[in-house]
Amino acid sequence: MTAMQPAKLASEPGREAWRSFNLYEPTPEHALLAGTLRAFVEREVEPQAADADRKEHFNRELFRRAGELGLLGLTLPEAYGGSGLDAVAAVQLSEILSTSDPGFCLAVLAHSILFAHNVALNGDEAQRARFVPKSASGEWVGGLCMTEPEVGTDVLAMRTSARRAGDGYRITGRKTFITNGGVGDGELGDAFIVYAATAPREISSFLVEKGMPGFSLGQKWHDKLGMRASFSAELVFDDVPVPAANLMGKRGDGTLHMMRNLEIERLTLAAMSLGIAQRCIEVMLAYAGDRKAFGRPIRDFGQIQRHIAEAFAEYRAARALVYDVARRLDLAGSGQRIDADATKLFASQAAKRAADSAIQVLGGYGYMGEYVVSRLWRDAKLIEIGGGTLEAHHKNLVKELARNPHAIRD
């Protein structure tokens, strides 16, 4: 290739059209969605965010409002009240909500991605018709039950079991840390996907509903480090009769459902980190311009510049990675596990560093509860644990890369 060739190609009409591609708002629909989300956040999410965190309150009214605006059903099929949009839309929702209230965003994600999207993807027609429309509207609050008091990462070792009984199954066991497990004082969430063992190391997926005998709310987890605007609960299954119609897919399909949904789950969690990082950078940049020390704005000091510049560079890198993976993610398929793990591995740590830098730049004010950065710092930590720990991402990534080294260049 000679040095002249690129200039020659550039002059041909249409050749450079790809340069106008906007990774973050690729279509007019995405641009419209971003506008709706920003307005919703400014007018309705931000005013309640600090208070919901302080009171450890899941804001059911705000959740319904999100449903009214169509924000709970972005990736759900249009035939069932959703918008039929793609992974980029799901990432936008996560990113923009998390600039203000990551705790509320976690509740939205657990409902719309972990539960409703999973049912839309893996359920049969009757299950979709029963669960998806009420999820898209926000009438029901849903969640996903995988983690147990004694089993998290090592999911195939789960103890909650489902035994055959007549035409259906009976589920016994306990799940914990379940987002949306409750929606208010002593009140269960409405519907859940419950992973349970139907044989040793055989996992099946069941749809369990509030009101089924033996299904109850255990404890609400109080005093969480962060994500306090979401309700984390222990759920108890005491010989719960579940009709065969509530088995999702075939017996033993649970592991497949888990894997299929984990990609979008991890990607949208990574996008939450983007929102956290973005807000932290905005806050520390503004503060560093206003705050004076030794007769100058602290923004003039190299050490402060380093905090802001490093956080910005990492945010930009994480954002490009997350949106690029979203662009390529086939919501109906699977096989991008490496990328999904990589996005959360990188973005979660970048957000935590950005929040830490923001506190440092704000000094004592950064440490005080009334400043958003301390809340974001607490919230940021969850993304290193929930939906797969950093160590789980390390394990998955190396296993997949060893199996398919070509993926490094893909």
Which of 91, 208, 322, 382 binds ligand FAD (CB under 6 A)? It is 382
- Within 8 A by CB and 6+ apart from 345, the residues are 390, 393, 394, 397
- Read off the tokens for 325: 């993976």
143 scored as a contact of ligand FAD (CB under 6 A): yes
Amino acid at 131: F
391 scored as a contact of ligand FAD (CB under 6 A): yes
Nearer to ligand FAD, 222 or 409 (CB): 222
Contact mark string toward ligand FAD, 210..249, x via CB under 6 A: --------------x--x----x-----------------
Nearer to ligand FAD, 83 or 94 (CB): 94
The angle formed by the CA atoms of residues 337, 385 and 59, to the nearest 5 degrees, is: 105
CB of 137 to ligand FAD, least distance (A): 21
Binding segment (CB under 6 A) for ligand FAD, from list 2-10, 16-24, 312-320, 383-391: 383-391
Question: Cβ(383)–Cβ(269) under 8 Å?
Answer: yes
CB of 295 to ligand FAD, least distance (A): 44
The terminus-to-terminus CA distance of the chain in angstroms comes to 23
Question: Cβ(263)–Cβ(196) under 8 Å?
Answer: no
**SS3 state at 244:** helix
Which of 87, 145, 340, 362 binds ligand FAD (CB under 6 A)? It is 145
Which of 36, 137, 334, 389 binds ligand FAD (CB under 6 A)? It is 389
The tally of CA atoms less than 13 A away on the side-chain side of residue 116 is 37
How is residue 370 annotated by DSSP? T
- Within 8 A by CB and 6+ apart from 286, the residues are none
264 scored as a contact of ligand FAD (CB under 6 A): no
**SS3 state at 17:** helix
CB of 237 to ligand FAD, least distance (A): 13
- Which residues face 164 on adjacent strands? 169
CB of 103 to ligand FAD, least distance (A): 9
Which of 62, 76, 146, 342 binds ligand FAD (CB under 6 A)? It is 146
- Read off the tokens for 385: 């644990």
Nearer to ligand FAD, 76 or 110 (CB): 110
Q: Name the site residues for ligand FAD (rule: CB under 6 A).
A: 110, 143-147, 152-153, 177-179, 224, 227, 232, 382, 385-389, 391-392, 395
